[in-house]
Homo-oligomer: A and B are copies of this chain.
């Protein structure tokens, strides 16, 4: 929004982005002011809540430009934010960006980054309404703030799970962490098969499923899996003051070729249980509506994986007939340094 720092040809760039972006808008009647003033302005629908979330991606912490194309990076920065709104049961509407770039990064880099971002924005029918661009003395820094909305009766929080509720997860688990390991340790294989790395480079947020569950009030609590199942399950349980028992045999593990599997340092279950950045939805629902929850929505599976228990914050997993304590062992970007 503020032009406090100007990128070479930033004005032209902003104009271009603004044009592409406004074409993708399905909200233009409510959007009063977009890019180009000190702030953007929009009108909320009567009776709804405005949702807001913000997430940053840093080069060297969240991504490496050795294997992230600028388009992938733009896509992912938006995807992780869309996922947050999906996890609330909300509908995403607008987003703003803050981008800091080393001087050697050229205007084409930024254009490609926005191309990837706007590709997802078009799919999700949301509009870029503002941003800030400046130089970075270090690596690339990318922050997205996303704005969505939800009816008060449909909002789904992390808090709300009750003992006896069933635990569900969408899609597949572990694919992102597997992709990341292959990109880091077996770049030739990773380059040869985009399918192995797509989950890490271009995660698909479960916007539609989040809305489906919220509109029907099926989910008693929900969170998106960004840190890994074991960690995000703890977040949900702590907020809901419950525990959980997960059946490891039911986890929808990411399918990986035998060749790739043989190269991995850990068992597939480990990636599924602790691998971060899958951006699937983890939710709970009363056993009464078990049969109402579809097995699949738009090709994405919804799998029951366990049950909520009484002891607050106490999570367990049953594996090969034995029940063990489950600890949060997911992603930690501080540890990754």
Contacts and interface: CB of A to CB of B under 8 A. Distances in A.
A44 B44 contact: yes
Nearest to A150: B41
A152 interface: yes
B1 A137 contact: no
A226 interface: yes
A227 interface: yes
A134 B61 contact: yes
A4 B227 contact: yes
A137 B33 CA distance: 36
A38 to B, nearest CB: 4
A148 B293 CA distance: 39
Interface string A225-253: 01100010001000100000000000000
A40 to B, nearest CB: 5
Interface residues of A, number: 83
A42 interface: yes
Given A39-B85, A49-B32, A61 B135 contact: yes
Contact of A1 (B41, B84, B138, B159): B84
A2 B53 contact: yes
Contact of A39 (B38, B90, B138): B90
B51 A137 contact: no
A56 B139 contact: no
A132 B51 CA distance: 15
A155 B43 CA distance: 13
Interface stretch (A96-104, A110-118, A263-271, A301-309): A96-104
Contacts of A54: 1, 96-98, 130-132, 143, 145
A3 interface: yes
Contact of A130 (B52, B90, B100, B143): B52
Contacts of A40: 51-53
Contacts of A37: 88, 157-159, 239
A58 interface: yes
Contacts of A332: 5-6
Contact of A56 (B6, B43, B132, B155): B132
Contact of A42 (B1, B33, B41, B49): B49
Contacts of A224: 2, 38
Contact of A52 (B88, B141, B147, B337): B147
A182 interface: no
A30 B139 CA distance: 39
Top 10 A-B residue pairs of the complex, sorted by shortest distance between their CB atoms: A138-B138, A5-B333, A60-B137, A39-B53, A44-B44, A38-B87, A145-B145, A56-B98, A1-B53, A41-B49
Given A40-B53, A46-B46, A134-B333, 18 more contacts: A1-B53, A3-B226, A3-B231, A4-B276, A32-B49, A33-B157, A36-B158, A39-B53, A39-B84, A39-B87, A39-B88, A52-B147, A53-B96, A56-B141, A60-B137, A61-B134, A98-B98, A137-B139
